[in-house]
Chains A and B, each alone.
Chain A
Amino acid sequence: MAADGVLAPSRSDVQSADAMRSPPVAVHNLSVAYGGVPALIDVTWTSPPSGLVAIVGPNGAGKSTLLKAMLGLVPAASGEALIHGEKIERQYGRVAYVPQRSSVDWDFPATALDVVAMGLYRRIGWLRPVRRADRERARGYLETVGLSDLADRQIGALSGGQQQRVFIARALAQESSLYLLDEPFAGVDATTERIMTNVFRKLRADGALVICVHHDLGSVPEIFDHVLLLNRHVIAAGPVVTDFTPALIAKTYGVPLEPLGQAKAAPDDV
């Protein structure tokens, strides 16, 4: 029951004229460099209005960098990324971000519920405390990802898949219509994979856009409907059925196109 209320797009999104007119994410001629080394070169991409998008490419292709550039976490050398037609600074709180699991200290003194409640912090506002009602609300999102029993467990005592689901629940608590996730399926168990896939499908049904950096080529057609093939440049972007082709994948990973089974030169993570 909590899940139904939880996954509906928030009222502000439905009413926003901007959200109707502009695509959730629009990237224009974006280039990003780290210490002079280009990570993204002249990336232009317009997201579909809703659906499940996989950003796919080899290691070092700039996949995480693209997500971070959308969020304003890394500066653009040139070009820009717009969220609902506006700079990210005007859209904080309308984008739910799930960082890589390895980016935080899991020994931190916090319970699963504490972390999920962080998704409510923007709505609670500066200087105001987290109240009982907020915690009850956070509990609903934990239920959505099947973790109500572990609400009070310290986060370091959870399995990797459970930690990932805590992050998903925190993102759901933001009640956004746009979700950016960095490798959510990396190293998770089958239960977590199933629960996350169901959550994403529910979000799509509610009209949200979910963009995942994804590393497992094999599961792309099964989970996602759109794909962005990236190797510093955009190689291809579009529906999985038309753009997730062996030829374009080979081009993305920089391996010669050969019949399956002979592509010995393919990198390990393909």
Chain B
Amino acid sequence: MTEFLQIDFPALICGTLAALVCALVGNFLVLTRQSMFGDAVGHVVFPGIVIAYLLAGTTAIWVMLAGAGTAALVTALLVEFLRRIAGVDPSTALGAVFTAMFALGVVLLEQSGLAGTSFDVHHILYGNVEAAIWPAATGPASLFNMDTLSQLPAQIGRLMIGLGLVTATILLLFKELRIVCFDPVFAATIGLRPKLVGAVITALAALAAVVSLEAVGVILVVAMMVCPPATARLLTDDLRMQVVISAVVAIASGILGYGVAAFLPSALGFDLSLGAAGTIAVVAGLFQLAAMLAGPKRRPARVA
């Protein structure tokens, strides 16, 4: 039990919270057909975080967010610039900008001597849920002891803050998000500022990417943003239900995915270790596959 609390519990919480915060934001990316934007955000926050760390010398969440937010803003401006000035197709512009930004992050990271720390490229790419440990835990009583709780990995605190901000924004702006995703032109005619609401979605996506980066990595952020909402969409026609179901799918993916990684190999007698970030994404993908095969709201492909 103590070993579970020290090693598995914090990692399980991190993986699950990361999946949850990404899935909640992902609903609005999927609805506005910006799924790949989620991928881009995940990639571009990486150089932002590296630069912010090099400048400030700390991984405090506000520093990380400032770096990530700046990187997201620079990306948006560059994409807009390429689109307007150079006449490049938007998805091409996005593809060019986010890969270039990501490459810049990799170069900076390698030159900075940060490799080998928690900023290891491998971990940035694939995530490292297992790095979250709780040595202070001594038994179930630790869960109710403020002193030991305060020694939980800082990552969990960051994820909780991110989750709180994302949840509060979605609850407060639910009707604005719904109308701007559905009919931005009509939203503009009633003075609901679609560009502002769109910027809020972008900001939430950057926030989710930053806080979940350590746990799931830039490549899997997009899986967490897309799979649970896309699964939920196939199970309901109600947006509120979709958001709730996506949260349930994300939590289930986090728990099952971690369980598979941590316990399945030894249970089957294999001596190998699975990265939990990867198994969480695979489980989320399996949920989506099941929904695509059997979900009640599947639609036949439209014949053009």
Contact for B182 among A89, A92, A110, A130, CB less than 8 A: A110
The verdict on A99 contacting B186 (CB below 8 Å), with A111-B238, A122-B191, A122-B192 known, is: yes
Contact for A92 among B190, B237, B239, B297, CB less than 8 A: B190
Q: Is the CB of A118 within 8 A of B191?
A: no
Contacts of B186 in A (CB 8 A): 97, 99, 118, 170
Is there a chain A Cβ closer than 8 Å to B110's Cβ?
A: no
The verdict on A110 contacting B178 (CB below 8 Å), with A92-B189, A103-B185 known, is: yes
User: Once A and B bind, how many residue pairs between them come within 8 Å at the CB atom?
Assistant: 74
Contacts of B299 in A (CB 8 A): 107, 156
Q: Is the CB of A114 within 8 A of B239?
A: yes
In angstroms, Cα B94 to Cα A6, docked, is 46
Q: Is the CB of B175 within 8 A of A130?
A: yes
Q: Is the CB of A121 within 8 A of B190?
A: yes
In angstroms, Cα B194 to Cα A72, docked, is 13
Q: Is the CB of B172 within 8 A of A127?
A: yes
Contact for B190 among A104, A115, A122, CB less than 8 A: A122
Contact for A103 among B172, B183, B236, B238, CB less than 8 A: B183
Chain B residues 168 to 208 lying within 8 A of chain A, measured CB to CB, are: 172-176, 178-179, 181-183, 185-186, 188-192
Chain B residues 1 to 34 lying within 8 A of chain A, measured CB to CB, are: 31, 33
Contact for B173 among A97, A127, A170, CB less than 8 A: A127
Is there a chain B Cβ closer than 8 Å to A31's Cβ?
A: no
Is there a chain B Cβ closer than 8 Å to A4's Cβ?
A: no
Is there a chain B Cβ closer than 8 Å to A192's Cβ?
A: no
- B contact residues, total (Cβ < 8 Å): 27
Q: Is the CB of A73 within 8 A of B181?
A: no
Which residue of the partner chain A has the closest CB to B192?
A121
In angstroms, Cα B191 to Cα A124, docked, is 12
10 CB < 8 A contacts A-B: A89-B191, A103-B185, A104-B182, A105-B182, A108-B31, A108-B239, A118-B183, A122-B190, A126-B176, A127-B176
- Shortest CB-to-CB span from B168 to chain A, Å, is 11
Contact for A95 among B179, B183, B189, CB less than 8 A: B189
Contact for A73 among B182, B185, B237, CB less than 8 A: B185
Contacts of A174 in B (CB 8 A): 190
Q: Is the CB of B237 within 8 A of A111?
A: yes
Contact for B189 among A71, A114, A128, A130, CB less than 8 A: A71
Contacts of A154 in B (CB 8 A): 237, 297
Contact for B175 among A97, A99, A105, A121, CB less than 8 A: A121
Chain B residues 253 to 304 lying within 8 A of chain A, measured CB to CB, are: 297, 299
Is there a chain A Cβ closer than 8 Å to B43's Cβ?
A: no
Which residue of the partner chain A has the closest CB to B185?
A99
Q: Is the CB of B175 within 8 A of A124?
A: yes
**New contact pairs (17) apart from A129-B175, A130-B175, CB-CB < 8 Å:** A71-B189, A92-B190, A99-B185, A104-B182, A105-B33, A105-B182, A108-B182, A109-B31, A109-B238, A118-B178, A118-B182, A118-B183, A118-B186, A122-B191, A126-B192, A154-B297, A174-B190
Q: Is the CB of A121 within 8 A of B179?
A: yes
- Shortest CB-to-CB span from B233 to chain A, Å, is 6
Contacts of A93 in B (CB 8 A): 190-191
Which residue of the partner chain A has the closest CB to B176?
A126
Chain A residues 108 to 162 lying within 8 A of chain B, measured CB to CB, are: 108-111, 114-115, 118, 121-122, 124, 126-130, 154, 156
In angstroms, Cα B238 to Cα A174, docked, is 23
Contact for B191 among A73, A92, A114, CB less than 8 A: A92
The 0/1 profile, CB within 8 Å of A marked 1, for residues 97-133 of chain B is: 0000000000000000000000000000000000000
Which residue of the partner chain A has the closest CB to B172?
A127
The verdict on A118 contacting B233 (CB below 8 Å), with A95-B189, A110-B239 known, is: no
Q: Is the CB of B239 within 8 A of A73?
A: no
Max count, chain A CB within 10 A of own CB: residue among B174, B175, B233: B175
In angstroms, Cα B203 to Cα A100, docked, is 30
In angstroms, Cα B186 to Cα A107, docked, is 17
Closest 9 interchain pairs by CB?
A92-B191, A154-B237, A122-B190, A97-B189, A109-B239, A104-B183, A108-B182, A71-B189, A127-B172
In angstroms, Cα B178 to Cα A156, docked, is 16
- Shortest CB-to-CB span from B184 to chain A, Å, is 9
In angstroms, Cα B173 to Cα A61, docked, is 39
- Shortest CB-to-CB span from A66 to chain B, Å, is 15
Chain A residues 224 to 241 lying within 8 A of chain B, measured CB to CB, are: none
Is there a chain A Cβ closer than 8 Å to B35's Cβ?
A: no
Is there a chain A Cβ closer than 8 Å to B242's Cβ?
A: yes
Contacts of B181 in A (CB 8 A): 108
In angstroms, Cα B239 to Cα A95, docked, is 27
Q: Is the CB of A118 within 8 A of B179?
A: yes
The 0/1 profile, CB within 8 Å of B marked 1, for residues 201-229 of chain A is: 00000000000000000000000000000
In angstroms, Cα B179 to Cα A121, docked, is 9
- Shortest CB-to-CB span from B31 to chain A, Å, is 7
- Shortest CB-to-CB span from B201 to chain A, Å, is 15
Contacts of B172 in A (CB 8 A): 127
